């Protein structure tokens, strides 16, 4: 079908202001391309039609049109994904949820909020806060990511040790399937034991089963007061020993993150900040605690004293106020940005059972030394969740194409190792385009076939985000 025909057809259904075609010159090429790309930087956008629906009915009209005319669709959220899930490179229609950003309802009895799926995650935090509540899923990209994108990727973030993943906060969903049908899953009640809970199929489905248009999210009480501890740790095993101790601590742990000296150097360079410690250390751990009781500050000191006495840390510091909390967090949250702005990086986001982590890392280091001799590696992540972000940096004198080919050839060795230690090849970023060739390292053939069968139910023509996931 010609693009002009598609543009006219869609404009008649949802209004011409919501449909943009590449050849119209209403948007520069870079901005237009950006709606069909995410943060992977490895793909080129190739698509002609971009639509901005404003409500679920608009999305249903778009999908019905696509179904009738066999046109593929890419749902586009905040485009902060690291798996190529929101990439449109085969002439698909890009459906951006940018204009679907409204609060629909707040229920003080249930402690829940209903919003459109294009709401930026940080705005959701604000909406919850204004109502005296707290939405706890947070990470460095929430200033741009959409709540719909978070649900489609089942995002994690920095407070999973305490609050879990996005999946744990979704009460209800409205989705538009690959035929244009609108499905509303639960939401207004806590208890509903009436068969399969289908919304969970759509959480983490990366836009392959339906377009999420609205969601009802559970909220919670905000943590009263937060204290951040930053410690310098001599070796990886000590990080695990510190984490084991946090389980028996009477203070609620909100976050447990780690990074290496190399990552700290990158952040210092990028943000122009100084090191928090007088001497460099191999690793750093950031712990965040809720302090609400009278003696909680003392308990915090005793945690620091305990890990110091056991010689698990070389140095440590407790943030004295919320500004210092933020400063400490910058050392951790600035890592991704400092890498992506100054380097070409091959990212791997993996998870392992913590009990296997030390043995895995030892074998992993040997593998990296043999396959990537002399390459710089940035290792950091949500270690309390068993989640490592392993980033390999392109050497300055290597061509980009050669670098990514090399990484792709080494990835299977790494994935075999992850399989050996019962881990996952994607902890929280998803599979998208980037890891679809390797899905078999984490999911069995039967599982993958079952996923394909489920896709056929909701997307019989295979037009929703085709080529992603499998
Ligand atoms: C600096 C940085 C830090 C990050 N840290 C974390 C982290 O700690 N934890 C974490 O989990 N992730 C992290 N990410 C990855 C990313 O932010 C998450 O995957 C996020 O949930 C993606 O949301 P998005 O709105 O940007 O989705 P997009 O990138 O736009 O899309 C992601 C996938 O979801 C689909 N999709 C988007 N919206 C919808 C919808 N409404 N309906 C159906 N499908 C849809 C897309 O087609 C695509 O497959 C980080 C990214 C950056 C850049």
Collapsing DSSP to helix, strand or coil, 57 comes out as helix
Does any domain span residue 466?
Answer: no
Does any domain span residue 465?
Answer: no
At 81, list the tokens. Answer: 């994904």
Please indicate, yes or no, whether residues 65 and 170 belong to a single structural domain of this protein.
Answer: no
Residue 210 contacts residue 176 (beta carbons within 8 Å)? yes
Among protein residues, the one whose CA lies closest to atom 19 of ligand 1: 81
CA of 298 to the centre of ligand 1 (A): 39
Beta strand pairing call for 49-51 and 19-21 = antiparallel
Q: How far apart are CA 295 and CA 275, in angstroms?
A: 30
**CATH number, domain with residue 86:** 3.30.43.10
Does any domain span residue 295?
Answer: yes
**pLDDT at position 117:** 98
**CATH number, domain with residue 365:** 3.30.70.2740
Q: How far apart are CA 429 and CA 205, in angstroms?
A: 12
At 351, list the tokens. Answer: 């998870």
CA of 374 to the centre of ligand 1 (A): 32
Residues of the chain with pLDDT under 50: none
**pLDDT at position 25:** 77
Q: How far apart are CA 86 and CA 43, in angstroms?
A: 11
The neighbouring-strand residues paired with 76 are 96
* CA distances, 218 to each of 110, 166, 289 (Å): 8, 10, 22
Does any domain span residue 463?
Answer: no
Burial 84-108 (b: 16+ CB within 10 A, else e): bbbbbbeebbbbbbbebbebeebee
Provide the domain limits for residue 160.
103-218
Residue 127 contacts residue 147 (beta carbons within 8 Å)? no
Please indicate, yes or no, whether residues 68 and 123 belong to a single structural domain of this protein.
Answer: no
Residue 95 contacts residue 66 (beta carbons within 8 Å)? no
Please indicate, yes or no, whether residues 336 and 347 belong to a single structural domain of this protein.
Answer: no
For residue 271, report the phi and psi dihedrals to the nearest 5 degrees: -95, -5
Does any domain span residue 467?
Answer: no
Domain boundary among the residues 98, 116, 143 is at: 98
CA of 142 to the centre of ligand 1 (A): 9
CA of 82 to the centre of ligand 1 (A): 7
Residue 318 contacts residue 229 (beta carbons within 8 Å)? yes
Q: Which of 99, 141, 170 to mutate to test the pocket of ligand 1 (most atoms within 8 A of CB)?
A: 141
Collapsing DSSP to helix, strand or coil, 270 comes out as helix
**CATH number, domain with residue 309:** 3.30.70.2190
Global pTM? Answer: 0.97
Helix or strand holding residue 405 (H, E): helix 400-420
**pLDDT at position 342:** 85
Please indicate, yes or no, whether residues 355 and 400 belong to a single structural domain of this protein.
Answer: yes
Among protein residues, the one whose CA lies closest to atom 46 of ligand 1: 86
Please indicate, yes or no, whether residues 288 and 373 belong to a single structural domain of this protein.
Answer: no
Beta strand pairing call for 283-290 and 345-351 = unpaired
Atom of ligand 1 nearest to the CA of 430: 19
Please indicate, yes or no, whether residues 205 and 178 belong to a single structural domain of this protein.
Answer: yes
CA of 212 to the centre of ligand 1 (A): 13
At 21, list the tokens. Answer: 């075609």
Residue 432 contacts residue 87 (beta carbons within 8 Å)? yes
**pLDDT at position 294:** 85
Please indicate, yes or no, whether residues 200 and 238 belong to a single structural domain of this protein.
Answer: no
Domain boundary among the residues 340, 357, 379 is at: 340
Indicate the DSSP class of residue 378. Answer: E
Collapsing DSSP to helix, strand or coil, 171 comes out as strand
At 244, list the tokens. Answer: 């084991």
Number of domains in the chain: 4
Please indicate, yes or no, whether residues 315 and 302 belong to a single structural domain of this protein.
Answer: yes
Burial 435-458 (b: 16+ CB within 10 A, else e): beebbebbbeeeeeeebeeebeeb
Which residues form the pocket of ligand 1, taking CB atoms under 6 Å from any ligand atom?
Answer: 38-39, 74-82, 85-86, 97, 117, 139-141, 145-146, 148-150, 152-153, 155-157, 206-207, 211-212, 336-337, 428-429, 432, 465, 468
Please indicate, yes or no, whether residues 8 and 94 belong to a single structural domain of this protein.
Answer: yes
Does any domain span residue 124?
Answer: yes
Please indicate, yes or no, whether residues 309 and 273 belong to a single structural domain of this protein.
Answer: yes
**pLDDT at position 75:** 98
User: What sign does the dihedral 413-419-423-426 (CA atoms) show?
Assistant: positive
Largest CA distance in the chain: 73
**pLDDT at position 250:** 84
Atom of ligand 1 nearest to the CA of 157: 8
Task: Quote the Cα angle for 348-287-331, to 5°.
Answer: 60
* CA distances, 376 to each of 88, 349, 369, 413 (Å): 31, 17, 10, 18
Q: Which of 92, 145, 383 to mutate to test the pocket of ligand 1 (most atoms within 8 A of CB)?
A: 145
Indicate the DSSP class of residue 451. Answer: H
Collapsing DSSP to helix, strand or coil, 225 comes out as coil
Does any domain span residue 458?
Answer: no
Does any domain span residue 460?
Answer: no
């Amino acid at each position: 079908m010609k693009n002009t025909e598609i543009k006219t057809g869609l404009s008649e259904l949802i209004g011409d202001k919501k449909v943009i075609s590449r050849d119209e010159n209403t948007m520069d090429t870079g901005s237009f391309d950006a709606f069909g790309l995410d943060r992977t930087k490895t793909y080129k956008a190739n698509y002609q039609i971009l639509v901005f629906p404003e409500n679920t009915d608009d999305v249903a009209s778009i999908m019905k049109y696509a179904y009738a005319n066999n046109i593929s669709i890419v749902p586009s959220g905040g485009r902060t994904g690291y798996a190529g899930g929101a990439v449109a490179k085969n002439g698909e229609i890009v459906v951006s949820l940018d204009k679907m950003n409204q609060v629909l309802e707040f229920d003080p009895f249930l402690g829940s909020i209903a919003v459109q799926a294009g709401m930026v995650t940080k705005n959701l935090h604000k909406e919850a806060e204004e109502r005296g509540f707290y939405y706890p899923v947070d990470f460095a990209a929430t200033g741009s990511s959409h709540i719909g994108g978070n649900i489609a990727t089942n995002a994690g973030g920095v407070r999973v040790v305490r609050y879990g993943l996005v999946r744990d906060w979704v009460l209800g969903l409205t989705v538009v399937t690959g035929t244009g049908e609108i499905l509303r899953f639960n939401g207004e009640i806590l208890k509903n034991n009436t068969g399969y809970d289908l919304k969970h199929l759509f959480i983490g489905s990366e836009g392959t089963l339906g377009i999420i248009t609205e969601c009802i999210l559970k909220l919670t009480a905000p943590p009263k007061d937060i204290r951040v501890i930053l410690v310098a740790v001599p070796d990886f095993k000590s990080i695990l020993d510190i984490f084991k101790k946090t389980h028996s601590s009477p203070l609620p742990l909100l976050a447990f993150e780690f990074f290496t000296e190399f990552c700290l150097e990158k952040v210092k360079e990028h943000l122009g900040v100084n090191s928090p410690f007088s001497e460099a250390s191999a690793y750093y751990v950031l712990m965040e605690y809720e302090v609400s009781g009278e003696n909680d500050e003392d308990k915090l000191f005793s945690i620091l004293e305990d890990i110091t006495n056991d010689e698990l840390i070389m140095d440590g510091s407790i943030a004295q106020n919320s500004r210092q909390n933020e400063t400490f967090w910058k050392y951790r949250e600035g890592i991704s940005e400092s890498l992506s702005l100054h380097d070409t990086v091959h990212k791997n986001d993996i998870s392992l059972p913590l009990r296997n982590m030390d043995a895995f890392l030892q074998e992993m280091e040997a593998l990296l030394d043999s396959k990537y001799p002399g390459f710089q590696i940035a290792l950091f992540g949500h270690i309390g969740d068993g989640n490592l972000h392993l980033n390999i940096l392109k050497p300055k004198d290597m061509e980009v194409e050669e670098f990514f080919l090399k990484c792709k050839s080494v990835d299977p060795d790494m994935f075999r190792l992850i399989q050996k230690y019962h881990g996952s090849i994607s902890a929280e970023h998803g599979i998208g385009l980037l890891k679809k060739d390797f899905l078999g390292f984490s999911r069995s053939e039967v599982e993958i076939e079952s996923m394909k069968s489920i896709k056929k139910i909701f997307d019989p023509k295979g037009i929703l985000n085709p080529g992603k996931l499998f």
